[in-house]
Structure 1
Amino acid sequence: MLNALQVFTTVVVGVMVGVEFSVAFVINRILDALPGDSGQLGRAHGGRMLGAVMPFWYIGSLVLVAVWAVAGWGDRGAGLVVTAGALLIVSVLMSVLLLVPINNRSKTWTAENRPADWKEQGDRWDRYHYVRVAVIIGAFALLVAALV
């Protein structure tokens, strides 16, 4: 049963890393290259869509890692799992304190109502997101290392 939990948790966190990596280095670059307001409107839609899903995914991943840490306490690799959990806590705190406030504003923006500094806010979100992606990649790598 523990093996199934370990694999399931690693897959859930790994897919989350893939989605967030894709947002940072593929989707947002594509949206930024679109003409006119299309990119900003696309980001607003993405903020609404992923903003509804990601809280459950981040918290769910953290819960799965915590269950793994408790169930596997004393096993080889338990320290790696605990450290991965700590990194996921950092990612949740970053999300709540830094990224979500910007996302909550930007997901309602249209060409008619966006603030003058909308690009700067988007750039700030991107910078925070790059750091968050690095943090969750670290957590994922630790989970994979704990498996082997």
Structure 2
Amino acid sequence: MQHALAVVTVVVVGLLVGVEFAVAVFVNPIVDGLPHNSGLVARSSGARLLGRVMPFWYIGSVLLAGTWAGVAAKPVAGVAAGLLVLSVLMSVALLVPINSRAAQWTPETAPADWREQLGRWDRLHYVRVAVIVTSFVLLVLALA
């Protein structure tokens, strides 16, 4: 059972890291290069879709990592779980407010500073990605 929990935790957190990394490094830069305001439309759509899914994924990752940390009784797993908690706090306090606004934007209703707001979201997202990548590495180390 302990081995299964470890594998499920690493897979769930690993997929979360992969999606968030892809958004930061590939998806948003590609979308931002689209002509006219197509990038705004795509980012708004992505904000709505991922805004519905990611809370469950992040909370599930925290719960799995916390459970694994308790079962494994390895400090590195506890640090990994703590970093995932930090990523959730960052999300709620810093990224979700921007994302919630962006989810409602259309080319006609977006504020004049929409690019700056999305740029701020991107910068905060890079930090969050670094936090969850570090957490993932520590979870994998806890398996060793």
Measured against the shorter chain, the TM-score band is over 0.9
CA distance in structure 2 between the aligned counterparts of 1:66 and 1:39, rounded to whole angstroms = 37
Please, which of 121, 140, 146 is the counterpart of residue 117 of structure 2? 121
The equivalent residue for 2:41 is: 41
RMSD: 0.6
CA distance in structure 1 between the aligned counterparts of 2:24 and 2:49, rounded to whole angstroms = 15
Please, which of 91, 95, 110 is the counterpart of residue 91 of structure 2? 95
Query: How far off its partner does 1:72 sit?
Result: 2.0
Poorly superposed stretches of 4+, deviation over 3 Å: none
For normalisation by structure 1, the TM-score amounts to 0.96
Give the residue type in structure 2 aligned to 1:80.
Answer: V
1:41-120 correspondence runs (5 A) = 41-73=41-73, 78-120=74-116
Q: Is 1:134 aligned to 2:130, yes or no?
A: yes
3-state DSSP of counterpart to 1:114: coil
Task: Give 5+ residue unaligned stretches, structure 2.
Answer: none
CA distance in structure 2 between the aligned counterparts of 1:114 and 1:143, rounded to whole angstroms = 40
Give the residue type in structure 2 aligned to 1:108.
Answer: Q
CA distance in structure 1 between the aligned counterparts of 2:16 and 2:72, rounded to whole angstroms = 23
What whole-Å deviation, never above 9, does each CA across 1:64-105 have from its counterpart, x for those lacking one? 0111112222xxxx1111000110011000000000000000
CA distance in structure 2 between the aligned counterparts of 1:2 and 1:28, rounded to whole angstroms = 37
Query: How far off its partner does 1:23 sit?
Result: 0.2
Task: Give 5+ residue unaligned stretches, structure 1.
Answer: none
Give the residue type in structure 2 aligned to 1:138.
Answer: T
Aligned residues: 144
Identity between Structure 1 and Structure 2 (%): 58
Give the residue type in structure 1 aligned to 2:16.
Answer: M
